């Protein structure tokens, strides 16, 4: 399973890259705004900086909601770097844009997916990735992780090549569950990756090892 970091913060991306486990980056207008990045030129320059940090796929989102606008933006975004993947929303015009991108050799990430039916449409239209939003489904009282399982089952039966990118991941438990459910990729903040490191028995064990080592040294001296 691939690990993508969901952020526009360059320091967090560098830190994730330094771990040696980073496979890509996802971001969106909200995350750009969080970093005070605004204006088309500044946003594209920021994408360029991200692409200079990692060789992995970097999802860059279109803002337009009409087909011609999405086609124009997709054509501009892929000029930034070879590892740009164009993020397109799951709407009627978005599905048309996915198909256009497929026919023109542009890789895509279909975002804001909340049902298996939407995931089928994205795969049929040739999306490279499909992004079900797990946490947001949980927020409305449904089981988000079951959607990953449903999509994985459908894609396996039908032979779809679209990769399942589990998005809106909130914690380490979500990452583990997404892996079990068949996600090809998870994307989450650095804090969610950090939570995978933590276990009280690891801390206790390390503390004991270090204490025993110190004791052994004192005996020798």
Active site residues: 87
DSSP string, 44-94: HHHHHHHHHH-SSEEEEE----SHHHHHHHHHHHTTT-TTEEEEEESSHHH
**CA dist., res. 86 & res. 155, Å (int):** 21
Q: Are 86 and 107 in contact (CB under 8 A)?
A: yes
**CA dist., res. 62 & res. 53, Å (int):** 21
**CA dist., res. 110 & res. 86, Å (int):** 8
**CA dist., res. 154 & res. 195, Å (int):** 31
Distances (CA, A) of 187 to 83, 124, 190: 16, 23, 9
**CA dist., res. 18 & res. 89, Å (int):** 31
Give me 100's structure tokens. 């256009």
Read off φ and ψ for residue 130, nearest 5 degrees. Answer: -125, 135
For 1, the 3-state DSSP assignment is coil
């Amino acid at each position: 399973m691939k690990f993508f970091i969901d952020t526009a913060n360059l320091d967090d991306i560098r830190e994730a890259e330094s771990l040696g486990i980073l496979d890509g980056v996802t971001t969106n207008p909200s995350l750009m705004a969080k970093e005070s990045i605004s204006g088309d030129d500044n946003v594209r320059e920021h994408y360029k900086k991200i692409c200079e940090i990692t060789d992995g796929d970097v999802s860059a989102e279109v803002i337009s909601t009409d087909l011609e606008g999405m086609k124009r933006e997709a054509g501009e975004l892929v000029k930034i770097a070879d590892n740009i993947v164009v993020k397109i929303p799951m709407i009627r015009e978005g599905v048309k844009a996915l198909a256009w991108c497929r026919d023109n050799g542009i890789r895509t990430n279909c975002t804001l997916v909340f049902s298996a039916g939407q995931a089928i449409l994205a795969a049929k239209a040739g999306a490279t990735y499909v992004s079900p939003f797990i946490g947001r489904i949980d927020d409305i009282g449904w089981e988000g992780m079951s959607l990953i399982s449903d999509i994985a089952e459908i894609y396996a039966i039908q032979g779809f090549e679209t990769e399942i990118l589990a998005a809106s991941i909130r914690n380490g438990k979500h990452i583990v569950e997404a892996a079990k459910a068949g996600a090809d990729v998870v994307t989450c903040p650095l804090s969610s990756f950090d939570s995978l490191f933590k276990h009280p028995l690891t801390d206790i064990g390390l503390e004991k090892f270090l204490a025993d080592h110190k004791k052994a040294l004192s005996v020798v001296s």
